[in-house]
Structure 1
Amino acid sequence: MDMSHEYASEILDYYNGGAEKDRLQRGIGQIEFERTKELILRYLPAEKQVIYDIGGGIGVYSRWLAEMGHEVHMFELAPEAAKHAMELQRSHPSFNYNIEVSDARQLDRPDNSADFVLLMGPLYHLTEKSERIEALREAKRVLKENGVMILSAISRFGSALWGLSVYGDKNDFIEDDDFMEMIGRELTDGQHIRSEKYPHFIARAFFHTPAELKCEMEEAGLCHEKTAAVEGPVWIVPAFEEKWAGRESRERLLAICRMVEEQESLLGMSPHLLAVARNR
């Protein structure tokens, strides 16, 4: 990310401040984590792969992949997030992977050097289309021919649906003019600009529609294979925490996710989208 970017410090502060710590171990982050791993495993060969985790945050997926025996290289823009990943690695010898502070659009790796690429965060915060295409092309550059790339995007409709899901129960964000202005902008052009009233909301970002995500991948020269809903619609369950804690109810929620993951009419209901592409 160009450090002259108007919102660069906000984005870096958000991740340097620990936004990703334990996020995937609580609330609906739990279903995001389980479903993302499930979808990755469908495309990840069992034999040892060279994997680039671009925008790897605090290394949650890098650790998981390294423990399976893959050669993992994680690239993260926020220095404090990378530092936290390094500290975790030192305390757990099995977390053996390479960690670098790096911009997703300029990776210090040769062409065609990765078997498998994860691009799990950069598309969130590169708010101009040209920036996202640049990151996609750089990820394509380092990916071997016919290699698989898994890309994550935030759904255009996530904030609005979340606001509705808690309206009148846990809070009344819908009745706040700043919140309505924020989601109005998101629904109009995908640009997420949080109000100063909500510093815990995700930093400056771009929220995709499924069609936009596919088009950007193809414009970057990637062969799009599928886009799947990660959490699907099940995150709206009022008693989600309680039901996720139960083994049988958790499996039922996951089963529904799988049943509708490629249903085009429901893709936008999922807070996160995961797309699969090949370098052909």
Structure 2
Amino acid sequence: MLKPEIMDFYRQGGERDRLAAGQGRLEFLRTWDVLTRVLPPPPAAVVDVGGATGVYAGPLARAGYAVHVVDPVPEHVAEAAALPGVTAARGDARALPAADHSVDAVLLFGPLYHLPERADRVAVWREAGRVVRPGGVVVGATISRFASLFDGFVKDYFSDPRFRPLVERALVDGLHHNLDAERTWFTTAYFHHPDELVGEPAEAGLDVRRRVAVEGPLWMAEHRLTELLASREGTDLVLELSRRVEEEPSLLGASSHVLTVATAPH
């Protein structure tokens, strides 16, 4: 289901704590903020595709949702299944283990990153549309075409001569082809241009409602994030400012991640 280097990357366990601090914490808080506004109310049934160790599934279950995680990594499935109120199984986003029109919402937080072929990504959206009820919500997370360029600058990755070719290739066609055995940077992935985010779900028969910048450009002030997110006041400020520009088209590419919110036709 996954390329070997991708499976190796995720089996290291990095997803367990990735969203706990700094830029990752901002990603979690902003994603959760969007979910609270676009998901149907609990006890809706949600399939969390690519849900990893259950970083969103756990809070959703605590909020009263019925959550089932589908993930290709065995270690992820085991951890997610141990969370109260969460079920989990190995699976492929292109062939979900769910009946037609059986759930209220589908989250695609991962699979769209790692399918370089457009036809496969459209198949993921189409499969989500198959299992969600008419009018149900599908939320897909993608990585920005420009994420590695900005991230590399902020974290000084360009001082390593191996990094620049990865960025140059991604800027051309979105393919971040990383075979580095040391896993110095993010694994092999596809980085979406903001202009692509409507066409793929639309081709799959879904109605696109919104494109939302997750971190926006504020993540690049990484040196301040830990300080701001440590307090309620600072967190409220970050979330307020992020909401103000979350759908501004000219800023979508400056966000590391973008959520595309779609619904299944009635």
TM-score bucket (shorter structure): over 0.9
Partner in structure 2 of residue 42 of structure 1: 37
State how far apart, in whole Å, the 2-side matches of 1:143 and 1:45 are: 12
Partner in structure 2 of residue 78 of structure 1: 73
Match for 2:56 among 61, 67, 70? 61
The total of aligned residue pairs comes to: 264
**Secondary structure at 1:109's aligned position in 2?**
coil
Partner in structure 2 of residue 92 of structure 1: none
Partner in structure 2 of residue 192 of structure 1: 176
State how far apart, in whole Å, the 1-side matches of 2:57 and 2:208 are: 24
Shift of 1:242: 2.0
Cα pair 1:73 1:98 within 8 Å, conserved: yes
Alignment of 1:131-170 (within 5 A): 131-166=120-155
| Runs of 4+ residues deviating >6 angstroms | none
Partner in structure 2 of residue 213 of structure 1: 197
Partner in structure 1 of residue 7 of structure 2: 12
- One-letter identity of the residue aligned with 1:34: L
**Secondary structure at 2:142's aligned position in 1?**
strand
Cα pair 2:68 2:88 within 8 Å, conserved: yes
Cα distance, 1:18–1:47 mapped onto 2, change above 3 Å: closer
Cα pair 1:178 1:195 within 8 Å, conserved: no
Partner in structure 2 of residue 108 of structure 1: 97
Give the TM-score normalised by the residue count of structure 1: 0.90
Cα pair 1:210 1:267 within 8 Å, conserved: yes
Shift of 1:72: 1.2
- One-letter identity of the residue aligned with 2:169: R
1:34-90 deviation digits (Å, cap 9, x = unpaired) = 110110110123241111111110011111111111111110111111122234x2x
Residue 165 of structure 2 is aligned to residue 176 of structure 1 = no
Match for 1:23 among 18, 29, 42? 18
State how far apart, in whole Å, the 1-side matches of 2:240 and 2:117 are: 36
Residue 266 of structure 2 is aligned to residue 277 of structure 1 = no
Cα distance, 1:223–1:245 mapped onto 2, change above 3 Å: same
- One-letter identity of the residue aligned with 2:189: A
Cα pair 1:243 1:250 within 8 Å, conserved: yes
Unaligned residue ranges in structure 2 (runs of 5+): none
Cα pair 1:140 1:222 within 8 Å, conserved: yes
Unaligned residue ranges in structure 1 (runs of 5+): 90-94
1:220-273 deviation digits (Å, cap 9, x = unpaired) = 111100100000011111332222223323322222211111111111110000
Cα pair 2:179 2:187 within 8 Å, conserved: no
Residue 242 of structure 2 is aligned to residue 257 of structure 1 = yes
Cα pair 1:194 1:204 within 8 Å, conserved: yes
Match for 1:203 among 172, 180, 187? 187
Cα distance, 1:195–1:16 mapped onto 2, change above 3 Å: closer
Give the TM-score normalised by the residue count of structure 2: 0.95
State how far apart, in whole Å, the 1-side matches of 2:133 and 2:251 are: 33
